[in-house]
Amino acid sequence: MYKKGEVRYEPVGLPDRVQLEPSEALKAAGDFRDYLKKRHSVREFTNEPVDEAVIAACIEAAGTAPSGANHQPWHFAAIANPEMKARVRRAAEEEEQVFYAGGGGEEWLKALEPIGTGVDKPHLTTAPWLIVVFAQRYGMTQDGDRYKNYYVPESVGIATGMLITALHHAGLVCLTHTPNPMKFLPELCGRPASEKAVMIIPVGYPSGDATVPAVAKRKKPLDEIMTVFRG
């Protein structure tokens, strides 16, 4: 985390070691892979409450992500307030009206057909929590001086992935909704002008009749996403 005047490198001993024996590592990696395969993007939620402490622990886990120059250029606004959620939904559906009326372009709309998305976004009010992910384009010191953040999209993307994984680990489901542009979100959440909302993540438990699009289960095989250069 950036602090004005702290510019010296000071190494400390590695505080934690989690190294496993080779056989244990293979089992752990395989078990984790299989567990992550049970993660699904869900649009049908119950209104069953989720303890705020669970949400806080998941966000705290996301905050351990690596970032450019360790500036940690992210903020997560957790919304349970019904009026705020309703406002987010209204704005999202207004934007989706334009998008699905042709604003998104024919190619994009065709690509979304197998996903089954549309204008209505009931999950934005049904889910007990909305987590709005903000990217901090630049920072401000306590003295009011502006400083540059580095690799902001990459850093926020890593932290968001860790958040989604933490939510899954807590037995919750979520969905990634990308606001466009939803410029009212920083004001709604009391965030500074230096921050931009990049994602809204509804969080909760799946309804009894929750579904996922069949196409979402089609994942690229390993040989299409991995290239190995052996010694």
pLDDT digits over 96-116, tens only? 999 999 999 999 999 999 999
Q: How many CA atoms lie within 13 A of 38 on its CB side?
A: 10
Q: What is the mean pLDDT of residues 84-96?
A: 95
Residue 54 lies in a domain: yes
Residue 123 lies in a domain: yes
Residue listed under structure tokens 């920083």: 186
Of the chain, the percentage scoring pLDDT greater than 90 comes to: 90
- The tokens describing 93, both together, are 């559906």
Residue 222 lies in a domain: no
Q: For all residues of the chain together, what is the average pLDDT?
A: 95
Position 75 scores a pLDDT of 98
Rg (CA), the chain: 20
Q: Supply the range of the domain harboring residue 163.
A: 49-207
| In the predicted structure, residue 179 carries a pLDDT above the cut 80 | no
Is pTM beyond 0.85 here? yes
Residue 37 lies in a domain: no
pLDDT digits over 118-144, tens only? 999 999 999 999 999 999 999 988 888
Q: What is the mean pLDDT of residues 60-67?
A: 98
Structurally, how many domains does the chain consist of?
A: 1
Residue 195 lies in a domain: yes
Find out whether the peptide bond into 15 is cis, omega within 30 degrees of 0. no
Residue 225 lies in a domain: no
